[in-house]
Chain A
Amino acid sequence: MKTNQMNQSVVHILLILLSAACLFPFLLLVAASFTDEASIVKDGYNLIPPQFSMAAYTYLWDQAAAMTHAYGITIMITVVGTFSGLLISSLLAYPLSRRDMPLGGIIAFIVFFTLLFNGGLVPSYLVYTELFHMKNILLALIVPGLLTNGFYIMLIRSFFMTSIPVPIIESAYIDGAGEFKIFYRIVLSLSLPILATIGLMLAISYWNDWFNGLIYITEPKLYSIQNLLNRMLSNIQFLQQNNLGGKASEATATLPMNSVRMAMAVIGILPIICIYPFFQRYFVKGLTIGAVKG
């Protein structure tokens, strides 16, 4: 039987209002990027541009070299970071999921303790810069985010423990398969759901990362798209001052700086918004397995 439900139109109206509130700043951003500079100065940003203009995008097209360079770096660190992060995490998680692993308890504690205590920014920064000289190299954008802490390892481990039947591993062992072969052929291929979910979370965190760039990178040529955006936020003329391979810039006064800034942010979020509908299911799953166990 049906339970009594709230009045559907009231529910929909409330949810439409809330969704609109979530969407509004994005719409404003897009509209601003298409607004004529003079009308921004006069009337400010608006949802519907009083004077439509593509000037910002034309300017960015001229600066395409700088943008594609930053994009290239973002894509590179996202791909390399996600794959190595997944590989290292699952390699560590698999032996921990084996109940016969010697010293398994101690190793699991070593992984787990990183969730409870961390040394903080200052020692981490000094370890990376003074000991490993990770200043102004691309590795600095990849390494600090690889595992962050043991959280994903614990999640992968519990997936291995619950979803991979021990008899399969044992029979493969009896058939003469080595541990690496078992790991690669059986464990990983049975774990695609968790790997996809964690891979997606890692990829998003690499794509969105600006913090490592902020503290380890000062050389504009190594900026990812987020770092470029970060610098543009505090210094609107950054793109012009650092000729990052675009055409020679025109006089400042003629440049549509206010709309260019917004257009850059639009270009920065475009890929995420485009892939989001296809990955939403995995993304939601990643959030819920991470939050509450069981």
Chain B
Amino acid sequence: MTQKGWSVALKRMMRYRALFLMVLPGLAYLVINNYLPMVGVVIAFKNIDYSHKGLFGLIYYSDWIGLQNFKYLFQTNDAFVITRNTLLYNGGFILINTAVAITLAILLNEVRNKLASRFYQSLVLLPYLISMVIVGYLVLSLLNVENGFVNKHVLPFFGMHPLEWYSESKYWPYILTIVNLWKNIGYFCIIFLASIIGIDHEYYEAATIDGASKWQQIKQITIPLIAPTITVMTLLAIGRIFYSDFGLFYQVPLNSGPLQPTTDVIDTYVYRGLMTLGDIGMSSAAGVYQSIVGFILVIFSNYIVRRRNRDQALF
């Protein structure tokens, strides 16, 4: 650029200095909170030695070991178990949450009394509002081995013996799926309900004149017209399928060791490696594995959304 070009650009910058000042705190925050950790993924390729002080010392002086951490990770059975669990749980959640939420939204849309409809909505949305720690308490009050509601009242009612819920891993895929559905159903329901409410009423009037039954109307009008929302929600969820709800898998099984074969997901594995086992190598390798596959999936799912409907794509 010429001398003059530079000074014009500089003048322009000066004119906008207030706006640049506004941007500064937010950008500084994103650098610290998001971009430094992105650079920090090199930790996974290092043999971290805590005798070096400070972040830069830790990263700079620790030995470069290439893919060694990843090699160890994928040699163990852990990598397979956590990947399988993460994918199966999240895949199951997508299917079940979507199906139940659509059913619930259709039911809510049928309620004529608007006050009653609001009331039901409030109740199903309530679990979405509370923290996973509280959910841990609620599940404990149901499944506690000595005095939980299920062992004391439900199972005896059916003539069954009490079960050791917190040490038998085989029940947990079902428990966690139900808990996840219970907690998130209100959220998905509201999204689909908003979409159903947007459907032009005339379609239903015309269908009624033609003598279509309610079931036919749902199948031929409601579902096809909310299909774009369903597709987008599903694809966005697929983009996030490698990430799980850490709280669900950490709090609800009470971090119980015997349950790990069926409750351990990538996020809990990374957490445990970092905070309890102090195995930074494995932990960071699993984290980078998650970040990279997650990134590819987000790009991929967005590409599909974009091909269907440009407006609904994230980018």
- Which residues of A are at the interface with B, using a C-beta cutoff of 8 A? 1-6, 8, 11-12, 14-16, 18-19, 21-23, 25-26, 28-29, 32, 40-41, 43-47, 88-89, 91-92, 94-96, 98, 101-102, 107, 110-112, 114-127, 130-132, 143-144, 146-150, 153, 178-180, 183, 204, 207-211, 214-215, 226, 229-230, 233-234, 258, 261-262, 265, 268-269, 272-273, 276-277, 280, 283-284, 287-288, 291-294
Contacts and interface: CB of A to CB of B under 8 A. Distances in A.
B201 interface: yes
A44 B291 contact: no
A180 B18 contact: yes
Interface residues of B, number: 110
Contact of B30 (A15, A25, A114, A262): A114
Contacts of B190: 284, 287-288
A265 B288 contact: no
Interface in B121-176: 121-127, 129-134, 136-142, 144, 146-149, 151-153
A226 B131 contact: yes
Contacts of B229: 292
Closest 8 CB pairs of A and B: A123-B40, A44-B152, A119-B37, A92-B26, A120-B287, A179-B18, A208-B131, A123-B37
Contacts of A280: 122, 125
B30 A147 contact: yes
Contacts of B207: 3
22 contacts: A1-B208, A2-B208, A15-B111, A18-B107, A45-B144, A47-B149, A92-B26, A92-B27, A112-B315, A119-B287, A120-B284, A121-B271, A121-B283, A122-B40, A122-B274, A130-B55, A210-B132, A210-B247, A272-B129, A284-B121, A292-B195, A294-B312
B40 A102 contact: no
B86 to A, nearest CB: 14
Contact of A19 (B38, B124, B139, B149): B124
Contacts of A211: 246-247
B133 A115 contact: no
B20 A95 contact: yes
Interface of B: 12-13, 16, 18-20, 22-23, 25-27, 29-30, 32-41, 43-44, 54-56, 58, 104, 107-108, 110-112, 116, 119-127, 129-134, 136-142, 144, 146-149, 151-153, 182, 185-187, 190-191, 194-195, 201, 204-205, 207-208, 213-214, 217, 229, 232-233, 246-247, 251, 254-255, 267, 270-271, 274-275, 280, 283-284, 287-288, 290-291, 294-295, 298-299, 311-312, 314-315
Contacts of B284: 120, 122-123
Contacts of B122: 276-277, 280
A46 B153 contact: yes
B191 A291 contact: yes
Contact of B38 (A95, A118, A284): A118
Given A112-B315, A210-B133, A45 B33 contact: no
Contacts of B41: 119-120, 123
A92 B22 contact: yes
Contacts of B133: 210, 226, 229-230, 233, 268
Contacts of A146: 29, 33
Contacts of B141: 25, 28-29, 32, 45, 262
Given A118-B291, A119-B291, A125-B274, A102 B13 contact: yes
B37 A22 contact: no
A210 B25 CA distance: 25
Contact of B120 (A15, A91, A234, A291): A15
Nearest to A122: B284
A262 B134 CA distance: 10
Contacts of B130: 208, 269, 272
